Amino acid sequence: MLESAQALIRKTAEKMKLDEETIKRLIEPEFAHEFALAITMDNGKKKVLKGWRIQHNSALGPYKGGIRFHKDTVREEVQALATLMSIKCSVAGLPYGGSKGGIAVDPKTLSKTELERLSRAFAVKIAPVIGVDLDVPAPDVNTTPQIMAWMLDEYQKIKGYKSPATFTGKPVSMGGSLGRTEATGRGGLFVLQALLEKTRHRVSRPPHPKGTQAIDSKQVSSSFQDLSIAVQGFGNVGYYFAKLAHEAGFKIVAVSDSRGGVYIKDGLTPETTMKCKKEKGSVAGCYCRGSVCDLKSGKTITNDELLELPVDILVPAALENVINEKNMKNIKAKIIVEMANGPITEEAYEYLSKKSLPAGRQGVIIVPDVLANSGGVTVSYLEWVQGKAGYWWSEKKVNLKLEEMIIRAFEAIWNKSVAKKMPLKQAAFEVAIERITSAMV
């Protein structure tokens, strides 16, 4: 993953004819912090875990990036994610650099008290190297608003003063922002709608009155109903993308989680499907349309089968590398929206991107993850702004600002893509690198 991220930056930078020293500054992290965390388990025994905070690039502003708890986390992964956060923040037009944190641990094996001790222990380790204008952590894989609340509380005890803007993704009661939970999925939908306007891909997004949300249920458009979407991954990101897309008039025909998925040709209802999933423990078997779940409505499918469905839009929103050399020739979707991080391997991307130039509009158009899933970090930025100001906005205002910012980011990448006749991913990296290098001193 690290080699892939660095290769993408190097390849783009070389095409931009940047010198070798500048490329090195774009690739190498500015700081890499590694910690040993000794926590007391509920049985009284000590357990030592390894953790990291990698701070990649601060040319555009304070470092920004999540903290993940995962048993397979390693330094190289954290560094790769920090590198891609620098690109993502730049793509989104945010005044941030990139960072990432992680602990090699399976949080499912910890009790709530053990999880709290671990979270507070990590906050103690990173306290000297984070801050409201230095490095602003947030949730990532297997971390939650509650974990951010524990970390913020510990950080404030160490510093001796309140600093709600130092962490984002917090509970609203501790200075979190309204709209943050849905932000990543909502942002992805905004990008998809903007793309459809540009490509006139069978339909274009209808205009919505100034001052209203594009996906307000009162503004639902029937013109999207002939566009089918399959969403792999029915966690926070995939669920809200599916839910909001359904409200906007798209037809969600398939969703899946780690245990499998369902396909309903005539379209399913995400909210009812999620309710069924919570009751059953899995999406598989949840054939839900409207308020009713009926076994006769659809069929069970695997995650692999979902990717190869004959749909207009494919949304991988779960794991990396799910579209690869084994299945790339079987992808039938006309548009792929990368809501997961790195869901397409380099080989598959090269194969698919040959047909993904906007000017062609005949094959696959790939919306890169650094743009598609930047809604989360964009609202994290809005949370940071609110925390620094000590003034919190309504959810409607947050959503309107998110739409404005993410459409602006899309426009910059689209214009670069068209002007230089390159895929959106390459255009996104060029836009990001131009912004970062222009701020370097």
| Blockwise average pLDDT, block size 10, the chain, 441 residues | 87 95 96 96 96 98 97 94 96 98 96 98 98 96 95 98 96 95 97 91 41 39 75 95 96 95 95 94 91 83 96 94 94 95 91 65 82 97 97 97 98 96 94 97 83
CB 208 within 8 Å of CB 427: no
Token pair of 149 as six digits: 């609340």
Domain ranges across the chain: 2-166, 183-372
Q: What is the pLDDT of residue 214?
A: 41
Structure tokens at 315: 């949304």
Q: Which residues contact 384 (CB under 8 A, 6 or more apart)?
A: 132, 136, 165, 168
Q: Which two tokens stand for residue 64?
A: 């920004």
DSSP for residue 197: H
Q: What's the CA gap between 178 and 396, in Å, rounded? A: 9
Rounded (5°) CA angle 171-176-177: 125
Residue 125 is a catalytic residue: no
Q: What was the pLDDT predicted at 225? A: 65
The pLDDT value recorded for residue 202 is 43
Count of CB atoms situated within 10 Å of the CB of 16: 14
Q: DSSP string covering 68-82, please?
A: EEETT--HHHHHHHH
Say if CB 365 and CB 337 are below 8 A apart: no
The Cα–Cα gap between 235 and 241 comes to 10
| Beta strands per DSSP E along 177-287 | 228-232, 251-257, 260-263
Residues 6+ apart with CB under 8 A from 70: 102, 103, 104, 105, 106, 141, 142
**CA–CA dist 69, 24 (Å, integer):** 29
Q: How far is CA 253 from the centre of its chain?
A: 22
Region for 162 from its dihedrals, namely left if φ exceeds 0, alpha if ψ lies in -120 to 50, beta otherwise = beta
Task: Please give the CATH superfamily to which domain 183-372 belongs.
Answer: NAD(P)-binding Rossmann-like Domain (3.40.50.720)
- Could you tell me if 319 and 385 are in contact, meaning their C-beta atoms sit under 8 angstroms apart? no
Chain centroid to Cα 243, Å, comes to 16
Residue keyed to tokens 């602003």: 136
Residues paired with residue 34 on neighbouring β-strands, in sequence order: 52
d(CA 6, CA 23): 10
Residues paired with 315 in a beta bridge = 231
Domain 2-166: CATH class, spelled out = alpha beta
pTM: 0.90
CA distance between the termini of the chain: 28
Report the C-alpha gap between 123 and 47 in whole angstroms.
Answer: 17
From the candidates 100, 170, 198, 425, which is the catalytic residue?
100
Crossing angle (nearest 10°) for helices 270-280 and 236-247: 150
Q: What CA–CA distance (Å, rounded) separates 258 from 330? A: 21
292-293 vs 313-316, strand pairing mode: unpaired
Note the pLDDT of residue 193. 96
Domains 2-166 and 183-372 share a fold: yes
